[in-house]
Chains A and B, each alone.
Chain A
Amino acid sequence: MIQEFLAGSLIYWLIAILFLLGIYGILDNNNFMKKLMAMNIMQVAVILFFLVLGQKSGGTLPIMIGHDNNVDLYINPLPHALMLTAIVVSLSTTGVALALLMRIQDHYGEIEEDDILRRMNK
């Protein structure tokens, strides 16, 4: 029972904890840079979740060995292909977010949320 839980679905709980850490960081931090880092943690949790869904026990990397195309021999290649692009896209969107943060820093001289909101409403 406990072994089945540890091997079968504990990783979902760990991924949920990682995701919730990201959400808590976004909600609770006041600094935009820390919010961006928490968002990246959330993104990593989503990527891990997709990769975990493609696992098969007894399967190896989705690269053909010889000409053996037995389905049980390889893990699912689809989540890997999807997440490969997601990682690179997350890199470039992080670049855009950093550029926006630099503009905010140029304009206000700080990246603290509550100060900026107060000065915007003035």
Chain B
Amino acid sequence: MKKISLLLIIIMAGMYFYAAVGLPLIGDANSAPNTHVAPRYIEKSYEETASPNMVTAVLADYRGYDTLGETTVIFIAGLATFLILSTAPSKKKEEEGGDNK
């Protein structure tokens, strides 16, 4: 098992290192992630939202629907944690089970 996972990791490492050659250089202002919508956000966010912090403008205004989904995910995760553990067999029950053993 250990050998198989090591072999798998080595193959994946080769793939990742091969793919990393094609990625844009760090700090390149003309790379693909920095060109499409990002200049629009930087130029227009202050006059459209009156908020100097562009991260907040993108988060809450341009992508507000996305953030609504994220907030719902957080709320549902909290709810799930509560519900999973609220029906848990309590310590008392576990001790009874221990007596049976």
Q: Are A and B associated in one complex?
A: yes
- Given A27-B5, A71-B39, A84-B59, A55 and B54 contact (CB-CB distance below 8 Å): no
How many residues of B are in contact with the other chain, CB < 8 A?
A: 53
With a CB–CB cut-off of 8 A, which chain A residues contact B55? 62-63, 77, 80-81, 84
Contact with B along A83-99 (1 / 0, CB 8 A): 01100110011011011
Considering the complex, which residues of chain A in the window 100-121 have a beta carbon less than 8 Å from any beta carbon of chain B?
A: 100, 102-103, 106-107
Q: Does A100 contact B84, Cβ atoms closer than 8 Å?
A: yes
* A80–B34 alpha-carbon span in the complex (Å): 12
Per DSSP, are chain A's interface residues mostly helix, strand or loop, or mixed? helix
Q: Does A13 contact B17, Cβ atoms closer than 8 Å?
A: yes
Select one of B6, B16, B20, B54 contacting A64, CB under 8 A.
Answer: B54
Q: Does B9 contact A20, Cβ atoms closer than 8 Å?
A: yes
Contact with A along B37-72 (1 / 0, CB 8 A): 111011111100000111101110001001100100
* Given A28-B1, A106-B88: 15 more A-B contacts, CB < 8 Å: A20-B13, A24-B5, A55-B27, A56-B28, A56-B29, A69-B43, A76-B38, A77-B42, A77-B45, A81-B59, A84-B55, A85-B67, A88-B70, A92-B73, A95-B77
Closest A-B pairs by Cβ, 3 of them: A57-B27, A92-B77, A8-B25
